[in-house]
Amino acid sequence: MDDQALLRYSRQIMLDAIDIDGQERLLNSRVLIVGAGGLGSPVALYLAAAGVGRLTIADADRVELSNLQRQIAHTQVDLGSNKADSARAAALALNPQCRIDTLTSHLEGEAMREAVSSVDLVVDCTDRFSSRYAINHACVTTGRPLVSGAAIRFSGQLAVFDPRDSESPCYACLYPPQEGMSDDELRCSENGVVAPLVGVIGSFQALEAIKVLSGAGTWHRGLSTFDGMQGTWRHFQVPRDPHCAVCADR
């Protein structure tokens, strides 16, 4: 790091849990953020600001007026723009030293596997069950840690899945695929969401990603749920499902 980088990241370097070594690990890390909406906006901004060296932001959608209530990486002038490109511009405005690539088509199949295998960690900021299962499967098969978040109405969820840990569950252990499960059950456009909730969950996703990448502290285990109406968290220990169709015997 040069003097400018030392100054930029000085408040993190001052932390014993991160120090220069941890900051160097962040600078050398690669992260894939899938989804540049309500969750992906704070994730992209905080990871870029914190000094993650290379981000790939994936989103095929375009910015709409109804997004601006909560998707803080986008502004009025971005209406009609691709969300990944808009989030990239916002993150680079915070930290031009961060290298940021975009994927502007829907990730699936081999494209998903290649994108996941090229990074050190994945942050799932999507709002569709189909996307969550695809991301989870790619992370399990490539051995990449996955930071998962969800936010709807006044409720949020946070989980970290690490296939490198023999005791860590995967997303499918928590939510086994069920026949008739609808993507609309998760979508804000169908259910509504209070604006700051996505910031709360997205910020926690960014925090967990920084901990995993830098080696600071102990990252999240199990599943945590947030009740925005009461302002309370609940934590659940979730074991790996030995019969999981995705991660069993891996």
**113-166 pLDDT per residue, tens:** 999 999 999 999 999 999 999 999 999 999 999 999 999 999 999 999 999 998
| Coil, strand or helix at 89 | helix
The active-site residue, picked from 125, 139, 170, 188, is: 188
3 vs 178, more confident: 3
* 132 close to 205: Cβ distance less than 8 angstroms: no
- Work out the number of other CB atoms within 10 angstroms of the CB of residue 88: 22
Asked whether residue 41 carries a pLDDT value surpassing 90, the answer given is: yes
Domain boundaries, the chain: 3-236
Residue 24: what pLDDT? 97
End-to-end CA distance of the chain: 38
Contacting residues for 146 by C-beta, under 8 A, at least 6 apart: 121, 122, 123, 124, 135, 136, 139, 160, 161, 162, 163, 170, 171
Residue 180: what pLDDT? 47
Q: Residue 181's pLDDT band (boundaries 50, 70, 90)?
A: low
Which has the closest alpha carbon to 44: 5, 98, 2, 82? Answer: 98
| Active site (annotated) includes residue 188 | yes
Residue 221: what pLDDT? 87
Q: Which CATH superfamily is domain 3-236 in?
A: NAD(P)-binding Rossmann-like Domain (3.40.50.720)
pTM of the model: 0.94
Phi (first) and psi of residue 152, to 5 degrees: -155, 140
Q: What is the mean pLDDT of residues 90-99?
A: 97
Query: Which stretches of the chain are assigned E, i.e. beta strand?
Result: 30-34, 54-58, 99-103, 121-124, 146-152, 155-161, 223-227, 232-236
The tokens for 229 are 């109406």
Q: What is the DSSP string of 34-87?
A: E--STTHHHHHHHHHHHT-SEEEEE---B--GGGGGT-TT--GGGTTSBHHHHH
Q: How far apart are CA 27 and CA 54, in angstroms?
A: 8
Phi (first) and psi of residue 148, to 5 degrees: -110, 140
Q: By mean pLDDT, which of 13-22, 58-67, 238-247 is the weakest?
A: 238-247
Asked whether residue 184 carries a pLDDT value surpassing 60, the answer given is: no
The tokens for 88 are 């990239």
User: What residues pair up with 235 in beta bridges, in sequence order?
Assistant: 224
pLDDT in tens, 44-84: 999 999 999 999 999 999 999 999 999 999 999 999 999 99
